[in-house]
Amino acid sequence: SLNTQRIDHIYESPQIKNPKFILHYGDLTDSMNITKIIQQCKPDEIYNLGAMSHVKVSFDTPEYTAQVNALGTLRILEAVKLLGLEKKTKIYQASTSELYGGMSENKNKGCYNESSEFYPRSPYGVAKLYGFWITKNYREAYNMFVCNGILFNHESSRRGETFVTRKITRAVAQIALGIKDKIYLGNLDAKRDWGHAKDYVRMMWMILQSEHADDWVIATGVGKTVRDFLVNAFLVLGIHIKFEGSGLDEKAYVTHCTKDEYKLEIGKEVLSIDPNYFRPSEVDTLIGDPTKAKEKLGWFPKYSFESLIKEMVISDVKLFKDHYRAV
């Protein structure tokens, strides 16, 4: 299916002179297709962000996840090598914090850097681990300029609707506007390092402009729980909530509202726990240590946790207001 809604605002017809970019039909499971596109473009830089990227869904589609996330990376690397572009084309491989998976001895420390051990705990993480090591292998075996960026969670108002952050901001907007009754979530205590996609994409570009090919952690160094994200999302709209109960019986209720536009009933239940949203193997804490990126590349995140959430919530409020105004 054609899925271009995230780029429609900047896309121009390829028939016009000097379009901003050109789209190609591609599939990371098709070696000949990938090779043909690279042969046509002869790119200076490739950013491989293609993946089956939903960790929970990877448990349901483990073989497909491996085909795209693991072998898809290999297909790009091998195409560049076979086409004789090793000296021309730099490659950025999007690795993931899920490589770490929450090593038991590091769990309390919570912070991972480029030297930390890997222990993936999902088919997504395992497939990405292959992508990481095959990238490193091609760099060392063929002297190619290929880099891994180990990205921790990166979000924006364009985040997919099935990911927990966007699911929260959409639901908060709907609840505040009276469109939805409440939100269902899983593990509220999972702690993640959430940054803005704009900061992380800037770092991706900086990685390929560096003097030497290397592997880099991209993170903020700050850990927040899903519970923190939910509380801050409601606060953007002046809605205060409290939690009662524990485990699967935990719920959240409105305590008071400070903005006249979003007056919810005091005591209204806005959260319930759904066991279907728990992973078969949970990863409790993933926080990155971006010291290397800061010291060697001068990269620092510009967006805070709170400003990221505010941007996402306000965007979703506008989205639903515009939708119902059009209807």
Per-residue pLDDT of the chain (327 residues; tens, 9 = 90+): 567 878 888 877 667 777 778 889 999 999 999 999 999 999 999 999 999 988 889 999 999 999 999 999 999 999 999 999 999 999 999 999 999 986 654 554 568 999 999 999 999 999 999 999 999 999 999 999 999 999 999 999 999 888 999 999 999 999 999 999 999 999 999 999 999 999 999 999 999 999 999 999 999 999 999 999 999 999 999 999 999 999 999 999 999 999 989 989 999 999 999 998 887 777 788 899 999 999 999 999 999 999 999 999 999 999 999 877 765
pTM over 0.85: yes
Is 25 tagged catalytic?
A: no
Give the model's pLDDT for residue 109.
Answer: 59
What is the Cα 303 distance to its own chain's centre?
A: 15
Sign of the C-alpha dihedral, residues 268, 271, 273, 277?
A: positive
Query: How far separated are the first and last CA of the chain, in Å rounded?
Result: 25
Give the model's pLDDT for residue 103.
Answer: 61
Is 119 tagged catalytic?
A: no
Sign of the C-alpha dihedral, residues 46, 51, 53, 55?
A: negative
- Computed over its alpha carbons, how large is the radius of gyration of the chain? 21
CB 168 within 8 A of CB 180: no
d(CA 161, CA 261): 25
Strand 191-192 relative to strand 224-225, pairing: antiparallel
Sheet holding 239-244, edge to edge: 183-185, 269-273, 251-257, 239-244
Q: Which of 65, 92, 98, 311 is catalytic?
A: 98
Q: Which of these, 235, 249, 219, lies nearest to 172 by C-alpha position?
A: 235
Q: Which of 100, 112, 124, 262 is catalytic?
A: 124
* 3-class DSSP state of 60: coil
Backbone phi, psi, residue 252, to 5°: -125, 145
Q: Which of 65, 73, 89, 96 is catalytic?
A: 96
Residue 238 Ramachandran class (φ > 0 left, ψ -120 to 50 alpha, else beta): left
Is 124 tagged catalytic?
A: yes
CB proximity list for 323: less than 8 A, separation 6 or greater: none
Type of residue found at 46: I
Give the model's pLDDT for residue 108.
Answer: 45
> Which residues is 192 bridged to in the sheet?
224, 286
Burial class (CB in 10 A: 0-12, 13-18, 19+), 17: exposed
Residue 110 Ramachandran class (φ > 0 left, ψ -120 to 50 alpha, else beta): left
Q: Which of these, 201, 173, 196, 135, lies nearest to 264 by C-alpha position?
A: 173
